[in-house]
Amino acid sequence: MQRHYIHTTPRCNRGCHALLKMRLYIIAGEASGDLHGSNLAIALKKKHPGITLRGWGGDLMQAAGVTISKHYRELAFMGFVEVLLNLRTILKNFKLAQQDISEFQPDAILLIDYPGFNLRMAKWADKRGIPVYYYISPTVWAWKENRVEVIRKHVRRLFVILPFEKDFYAKHDIDVTYVGHPLLDAIDCLPAPEPGIIDICRPQGKECIALLPGSRKQEISAMLPTMLRMQSRFPEYNFIIAGAPGIEPSYYEQFTQENPTSIVFGSTYDILRVARVGLVTSGTATLEAGLFRLPQVVCYVANAISFHIAKRLVRIRFISLVNLILKREAVSELIQSNFTEERLFEELYKLLNDSSRIEQMKQDYEELHTLIGGPGAADKIATELLKTLNHG
């Protein structure tokens, strides 16, 4: 079915975008969205220095030239129960965003992931004649497939980052733009690891096991204590916690009093590069570990009520992006009741001692790189956005 749009953006002759004062509002509600939003902001400003960017995000977007009116650390609620408990705050935030957008009067809005909030914002903005673009698809292929209709009605262009998403939307007669995964951009331009990080991760030549317990406090409190208990089981290795942006050191320290552990902030990619194995909370970090070819065990525990509700609704076999993209269990997933000290010990022992398991995982990671495409996602989106906004 062909989509038809009413274009509200003024048309201009070729090349006039260099003079046009364009205004774009961006909403990213999580750390990963902040990263991808910052790379996009850099690409937009490089192509169109006169563009004005404002929105919700974090430190990386701010450093890239986006005026941040709300930091994502105030927005991270996950799970059915947690959302209900914080519903008043979420509704207040939504009204604040509406007011900020109305005062800013953008030419368009770009929504990055964060679907519970952003799909509602898409409806609101589209009904007011503001063109809506969406970067990183909601997981409608996993659950809440009815959200496809919200995207069809209220989103002008959806930029997807996973190879199977284009085919999924084609079944719903929606043409989307596949840009490849933005993590490749971030990884492609990395400098060599800082010598200081290598010394912290590998003191006296000890090999390192990386702990990535999540980017939200409720994830950290659920995952980190069990992860830390591996230190006494594998004393010959050095354990490092990759601190999440927006989480204060004192929050981690309450869990490390009995198991003293180094906590390193702002160097997650360096840690992934030098570690031998990773214990990784499900989310973007599982794909990051895969792209660095780091053997990993995927861990996840949710609020019990939220988990049982999700189990009835979610239609996918796996929770890690590595397994979802490869369509098989390339990395072990310890979910909910399976995430125990003994099961974690068993899986970690295999990764440290079973050479055939490691070799198979390396082969799987090579296939992952092939499937996910090449770098350049931010540049592709910036080009498409500027072209569409200038030419209607």
15-19, 158-162, 355-359: lowest mean pLDDT where?
A: 15-19
Residues of the chain with CATH 3.40.50.2000: 16-180+376-391, 188-372
Give the pLDDT of residue 231.
96
Do residues 68 and 58 lie in contact, with contact meaning Cβ atoms separated by under 8 Å?
yes
pLDDT above 80: residue 121: yes
Do residues 216 and 78 lie in contact, with contact meaning Cβ atoms separated by under 8 Å?
yes
For residue 130, is it left (φ>0), alpha (ψ between -120 and 50) or beta?
beta
- Average pLDDT for 23-31: 93
47-61, 163-177, 231-245: lowest mean pLDDT where?
A: 163-177
Mean pLDDT of the chain: 86
**83 band by pLDDT with thresholds 50, 70 and 90:** low
Count of residues for the chain? 392
**12 band by pLDDT with thresholds 50, 70 and 90:** very low
How confident is the model over 248-304, as pLDDT tens digits? 999 999 999 988 899 999 999 999 999 999 999 988 899 999 999 999 999 998 755
Give the pLDDT of residue 139.
82
C-alpha angle 249-255-257 in degrees, rounded to nearest 5: 95
**19 band by pLDDT with thresholds 50, 70 and 90:** very low
- Average pLDDT for 92-109: 94
pLDDT above 80: residue 313: no
CB atoms within 10 A of CB 84: 12
Give the pLDDT of residue 80.
46
pLDDT above 50: residue 163: yes
Task: Please give the CATH architecture assigned to the domain spanning 188-372.
Answer: 3-Layer(aba) Sandwich (3.40)
Higher pLDDT, 18 or 109: 109
The CATH number of domain 16-180+376-391, selected from 3.40.50.2300, 3.90.1150.10, 3.90.1170.50, 3.40.50.2000? 3.40.50.2000
pLDDT above 80: residue 377: yes
How confident is the model over 195-239, as pLDDT tens digits? 888 889 999 889 999 999 998 888 999 999 999 999 999 999 999
